Amino acid sequence: MCGIVGYLGNKEAYPILIKGLHRLEYRGYDSAGVALVNSSSDLKVYKTKGKVADLESYTKGKDVSGTIGIAHTRWATHGEPNNVNAHPHYSQSESLALIHNGIIENYAVIKEDLIKRGYKFQSDTDTEVLVQLIEYIKNTNKIGLCQAVQLALTQAVGAYAIAVIEKGNPNQIIAARKSSPLVIGIGDDEFFLASDATPIIEYTNRVIYLDDEEVAIIRRGEEVHIKTLANVEKTHEVKELELSLNELEKGGFPHFMLKEIYEQPKRIAEAMRGRINVEANSVALAGVIDNKEKFLNARRILIVACGTSWHAGLIGEYLLEEFARIPVEVEYASEFRYRNPIINKGDIVIAISQSGETADTLAAIELARNAGAFVYGICNVVGSSIPRNTDSGSYTHVGPEIGVASTKAFTAQVTVLSLIALTIAHLKGTIEPDRYQELIKELASIPAKMIRTLEVNAQIKDFASIFTYAKNFIYLGRGYNYPVALEGALKLKEISYIHAEGYPAAEMKHGPIALIDAEMPVVVIAPNKGMYEKTISNIQEVKARKGRVISIITEGDETVKKLSDYTIEIPETEECFVPLLASIPLQLMAYHIAVVKGCNVDQPRNLAKSVTVE
Ligand code: F6R
């Protein structure tokens, strides 16, 4: 939610900032802006409603010179997306410019106080309050910018990653963070800052991750200084990024989402690499093995997550209960954090997140840790806040996911949950050795089966246009495929704007069946496993009401084929691994319907990839 980027060095800042904004555009695309200090030490701000491309058009022919600058791409929280509310925000005297990712919760109180002191506000944002407060403190106390930022932030309640530059000083950026991500890149005589490493990797792989309530003083010709808000000096290890540049390109695909769907076989294999050994018949997940006693003695596992990651958590519940025989509860992080949950000694909390920055999930982790729980993270983005705030965990290793709709991260989360369940089951002896071996072998074969599953793309592309008429969709699944139905429905609604609901198939007759008529497409995940016969009965119920059935079936299943209007075949696999294959046609269906409808697949309206506000 909102992307921030900054540069200080010997090169022209503007092209670096624009490129950085393009990389961060997945975080929000309501408006974009840039602030630069040029060689005459003038501070210029250019900003506009719309995307980074709109900012580029807006700045054509304008003076965008300068070797220091900050830039922002916005996901609106306070104030509608318009030119005035776009960042950077000037202070009253226009001597400071500030960008911000996060929310200042007590902005109204501060604003009222500043208005009484004669400050005038241009925008409806919480951010403008911060820059005005910094200026007020700086001028009244006659102190430098860094100290003014430190003092201002001690008054701010909420979340922030900010960067500030000032007129007359082309040699300094002050940046700070609390509960919103901020990475500083260290090059040769140049510095970068950004919400994540993607704008930085092109120039340097040496980075520092700031911690909460820390301020970075980035000055030309000096080392980066880091201090707390209370002015205590901090030293940070410089970390090496493992990201590669071509992971950030579309690689010949029309959209990142399609590229990421197609990457799944390779990425899932990577998620299993070094963790599964078919020859030795073993699964070994370091995070679990290292904390063996905790997992062996766990009385209960609580899974906290949001959105797609929550759907993966539901599949985790089925896996962990079936194989590891540990009771599991899956919670929306946003509910968990505010409902005074009971967390017992011996509970393990698993937090799942692609970005590692989701505000609600981070708050749920904090709550769980304060209550004494052991917290395990399943996360994709290396070095993000969640892995840094959990006791242990596993990365999903799927590389950057740039399409806003999560695809490969979901299947990788399910893969890691499968590995966790199998590792614990083996350690606890809750699985028969033969069954354990069968499942390991089958899990290892999933990447190859995913390649075969992707062959349905052409078929789905063909029939996608038929369903663009639909205003509603229903998705049905049972057991392991109930969360797959939820995830399929979420994918469709977020990128095609078609309303869709996922249900456990048997729940349909308790209400949703009233919606079914000849216009209603009903997607049924109906593999020849689990409650196959019962799912067939549910399909019959839909057909009896003239619903249009699109079923995901096991290769060669003629029975369900005959009952369905459209069928998509996936390779046969174990019931517990069907979600890894069945999700792929659902991702492709949402993708093709959205493309035919002319929707912006990678940047759907109102959404942002990294939800750093609650
Ligand atoms: C949907 C989607 C979101 C995220 C959710 C949690 O396609 O991407 O629902 O799953 O915002 O994000 P993470 O996993 O980054 O915590």
Residues with catalytic function: 2, 609
Note the Cα 405 to chain centre separation in Å.
9
Cα 197 to middle of ligand 1, angstroms? 19
Ligand 1 contact, 365 CB (< 6 A): no
- Testing ligand 1's pocket by substitution, the residue of 337, 355, 417, 605 carrying the most ligand atoms inside 8 A of its CB is 355
CA gap 384, 386 in Å, rounded: 6
Helix axes 433-453, 408-428, angle to 10 degrees: 170
The highest-level CATH class for domain 454-601 is: alpha beta
Ligand 1 contact, 569 CB (< 6 A): no
CA gap 556, 548 in Å, rounded: 21
Q: Per-residue pLDDT for 612 more than 80?
A: no
For 249-299, write each residue's pLDDT tens digit. 888 999 999 999 999 999 999 999 999 988 888 888 899 999 999 999 999
Whether the CB-CB separation of 122 and 84 falls below 8 Å is answered with yes
- Domain 251-431 and domain 454-601, same fold? Reply is yes
- DSSP run (H or E) holding 446: helix 433-453
Ligand 1 contact, 334 CB (< 6 A): no
pLDDT band at 481 (very low <50, low <70, confident <90, very high): very high
CA gap 192, 17 in Å, rounded: 9
Angstrom CA distances, 287 to 90, 224, 246, 390, stand at 47, 33, 29, 11
Collapsing DSSP to helix, strand or coil, 372 comes out as coil
Whether the CB-CB separation of 179 and 2 falls below 8 Å is answered with no
Token pair belonging to 476: 């049905």
Average pLDDT score over residue span 409-418: 98
Ligand 1 contact, 307 CB (< 6 A): yes
For 94-137, write each residue's pLDDT tens digit. 999 999 999 899 999 999 999 999 999 999 999 999 999 999 99
Cα 607 to middle of ligand 1, angstroms? 10
Closest approach atom of ligand 1 to CA 610 = 15
In this prediction, residue 373 carries a pLDDT of 94
**192-196, 366-370, 610-614, range with the lowest pLDDT:** 610-614
- Testing ligand 1's pocket by substitution, the residue of 257, 260, 261, 306 carrying the most ligand atoms inside 8 A of its CB is 306
Ligand 1 contact, 494 CB (< 6 A): yes
Contacts of 39 (CB under 8 A, 6+ apart): 65, 66, 170
CA gap 319, 430 in Å, rounded: 12
Ligand 1 contact, 353 CB (< 6 A): yes
Cα 404 to middle of ligand 1, angstroms? 8
Regarding predicted confidence, which is higher, 605 or 161?
Answer: 161
In this prediction, residue 29 carries a pLDDT of 84
Cα 310 to middle of ligand 1, angstroms? 8
The domain ranges of the chain are 3-246, 251-431, 454-601
What stretches of 105-251 adopt beta strand conformation (E)? Answer: 158-166, 169-178, 183-186, 191-194, 206-209, 214-219, 225-228, 233-234, 239-240
For 147-158, write each residue's pLDDT tens digit. 999 999 999 999
Share of the chain above pLDDT 70, in %: 100
For 251-431, the fitting CATH number among 3.40.50.850, 3.40.250.10, 3.40.50.10490, 3.30.470.20 is 3.40.50.10490
Specify the pTM.
Answer: 0.87
Helix axes 408-428, 264-272, angle to 10 degrees: 30
Average pLDDT score over residue span 73-88: 88
Cα 386 to middle of ligand 1, angstroms? 14
Q: Which overall architecture, per CATH, does domain 3-246 show?
A: 4-Layer Sandwich (3.60)
Ligand 1 contact, 405 CB (< 6 A): yes
What is the C-alpha R_g of the chain? 25
* Atom 11 of ligand 1: nearest residue by CA position: 307
Token pair belonging to 23: 């990389």
CA gap 54, 446 in Å, rounded: 43
